[in-house]
Structure 1
Amino acid sequence: MCRILFAAGEGEKVQPLLDALVNASRKDPYKEARGKGGQHRDGWGYLLIKGELERHYRSTMPIFNDIKEIQALNEELNGFVVLMAHARAASQGDVSLLNTHPFAFSSWRGFSFWLLHNGDLDKERLIEMAGFESNDLAGVSDSYTLAAYISRNLRGTSKEDLLEAYRGAMKTTRTSFNTVTVFQDDTQELRAFITAYSTEKRVKDPKDWDYVKLLSLERKNLFAVASSTLGLYHSASWEIIKNGTAMHLSILPQERKIIHVTADL
């Protein structure tokens, strides 16, 4: 499983969250407590949207070793930004650029999206539900398969369409279905959709829940969602997101405005 970050708001408030992601990936006490080692070192990637800039970056290098790119990203964190980032600890699929998050897809329904996922899914069931051929997806991860499933099944970016598509995919969850997706169409508005779900087994085990739960942070000019470990490296008024929650965000960069609503998955 992996460590994730989504943040929208003023760049200088996002910088310490990026630092926390790097540190959480280098040494994760929650992962260590489960006997799974302490690092998320199987590649990392991010999407940054800032004004006219849109940058999608992926590398198989551990995030904590990719010093030049982290420095370059930090230099861009000024003004109003939207950032999603993922540090991978591979559970399914090879360590490769193809399997490194976030994944970029364009739908024939007129929108593009970037998706990242933390957890473990039943890949074969996803393939069957989507009507894909198993051989075509033999070398990819469950998370890549999820992105392909969403691309095929999502009708639009309304809250109702998103809930329908993601609820379907959530049925394949083996451990967690923690996702962040950012959508872009021909308007100046960005949309984001976040899911926080783990199976009952994970929620009831204290060590598992410490590891898989998602946190949210909301203050003036900042909205963020992050994996639990980031809370150990950045002291703030984090709140634990209720298990089985979806968040639908409308982001208006020119107005520096974020509108979000929650729903049950």
Structure 2
Amino acid sequence: MNNRLGALAAAAAAVVLLAGCSAGSPSPSAPAAGDASSTAPEGLVSEGKLSACIDPEYPPLEYYENGSDGKIVGFDADAITALAEHWGVEANFVVTSFDGLMPGLQSSTCDMIFGGLYMSEERLAIADAAPVMNAGPAILTTPENVDSISEQTDLCGLTVAAQAASSNEASLQALNEGDCSDNPMTIQSYPKTAETVLAVINGLADALIETNVAAAYMETQNEGRLAVAADVFPTDTTFGVFTRKGDPLSPAVAEGLRALHDDGTLAGIAEEYNLDATIVDVY
């Protein structure tokens, strides 16, 4: 993680992310609305602005730089700004809870969701998506228990925390219906990822499931209290940027992301947040 991430204390990483959010935080460096250089496609919900629904409690993808308010930073946040600048418009962050992201998109509160969402079959049935990052689930537990979890069936019978309405929670539910059907997990659902961290640290859950990108950050920020169990789940999914189903904006977003990939912008942003640049090689 870059230097500003290192400034977040381990305890703060689990707690400050629970604070409330304010909606509609624009990027201060974006071009002014109506700029003559704008090449944005038609169909933006607000002329001269690229509005993105985002839940800024998911470092290193999106989070508040000072903990609970102020500037929103992270890979996704910076990539939203880069796409807005690519089109010559202003970036506008529409802050909402994780489970409010898709409803916000469908109600045209925003133009897109750029916020750590898997391109799952369920989501693709109701929205379009362009790939942006390779990802997969990961398991975190206490350092004392990490060696006891090496494959998915080791989770059977345990209490596992997950963010509510996430694809990671769905992975646990599928496991309960399959290999863990005789000894199912107790799945604890929480609105915020920080609450899943606290559940394990406070002994309320044996483990938590989170996306590999965020899991590495959580381990770093909770050294000695959390550890990643390696290779429990394969990296076999992709984060996408979602737009409304059949919206004319969908191909434009896909083309814009491809341009930012090809010119190295996305790889550069990934490296800024200490992510492996190859995770954006989705084409």
Same fold per TM (> 0.5)? no
Q: Which has the higher strand share?
A: 1
TM-score (norm 2): 0.28
TM-score (norm 1): 0.29
Larger Rg: 2
Higher RCO, 1 vs 2 (CA within 8 Å, ≥6 residues apart): 2
